Homo-oligomer: A and B are copies of this chain.
Amino acid sequence: MAILVVGSVAIDSIKTPFGEREEALGGSATYFSTAASFFNKVEIIATVGEDFPAKYIKLFEKRGIGTEGLHVVKGGKTFRWKGSYGQDLNTAHTIYTHLNVFQDFKPEIPRDLRNTEFVFLANIDPVLQYSVLKQMKKPKLVACDSMNYWIENKKADFEKLMDHIDILLLNETEARMFTGESNLMKAARLIVAMGPKAVVIKKGEHGVIYFSKDSYFVTPAYLLESLYDPTGAGDTFAGGMIGYLSKAGKITETAIRNSIVYGSILASFAVEDFSVNKLLEISMADIKARFDHFKSITRF
């Protein structure tokens, strides 16, 4: 009951300059929980259709990812997304989005999971994110992601969340859009003034800025020579970060900085293959080795 994630479990079809995959396992809750499962037990709150392959449920369970809250809709079809990336791997071009059962997703937290200590609200309608928080009993830490669509179209609902979350995770475009401020340091300051204890601004290949009322931390990304599929990098980052924090016990500044670097390291593995394939191949020793290598190439 250490970590609970509310988000999507999906079937993705993806094309990048480096290859193509049809009907692969995807979704924010999938990437998050696969990354977090290196550190702790995770419970998924999501919805899938009856067509969702049983092998994926087994895969979750094998990794200690609980599926009690993974609702299977009888006769329903799983959320499907198809997208492609050109040479600029920062921009996904959506070919189709079939929300299917995800359209009627109303997250219900099973009673025995309501006292989970670490909660990650992946990118869904902020109204649903808020409804999840109402169901939880005093979590130790709530982290929240979002996207430009909600920030533009449900800004008031999104803002209502601010007083109830500890860490807001946004990419740099979202942080600028949310605050109307192009300077990221000023944007971070404005966000923290709205309620969250801290904000994490994800800059993709350029690293991460962490900003709280008391301190800030800046780190580059792990430099990669081969990047195959950026899908899910942000959720994988969050999974590594929250996974590490949930394991660290006390949430100190040192723990937070390490958690951000672990998040970056997990994300660096995720983008080296399609879907969560690379994350399924690696061990905690691989993660630790890359963490140590990152330390060695950034130390001065």
Contact = CB atoms under 8 A, between A and B. Distances in A.
Given A206-B203, A206-B207, A182 B87 contact: yes
A218 B203 CA distance: 15
Nearest to A206: B206
Interface in A209-258: 209, 215-220, 223-227, 254, 257-258
Contacts of A227: 183
Nearest to A222: B218
Contact of A219 (B184, B220, B260, B295): B220
Given A206-B206, A223-B209, A218 B298 contact: yes
Interface string A46-88: 0000000000000000000000000000000000000000010
Contacts of A254: 300
Interface residues of A, number: 32
A288 interface: no
Interface in A268-300: 295, 297-300
Task: Label chain A's interface by main secondary structure.
Answer: mixed
Interface of A: 87, 182-186, 189, 203, 206-207, 209, 215-220, 223-227, 254, 257-258, 260-261, 295, 297-300
Contacts of A207: 206-207, 220
5 contacts: A183-B227, A206-B207, A207-B207, A219-B220, A219-B298
A177 to B, nearest CB: 14
A295 B223 CA distance: 20
Contact of A218 (B209, B223, B226): B223
A98 to B, nearest CB: 32
A216 B209 CA distance: 22
Given A183-B224, A203-B206, A218-B297, 7 more contacts: A206-B206, A207-B207, A209-B223, A218-B220, A219-B300, A220-B220, A257-B300
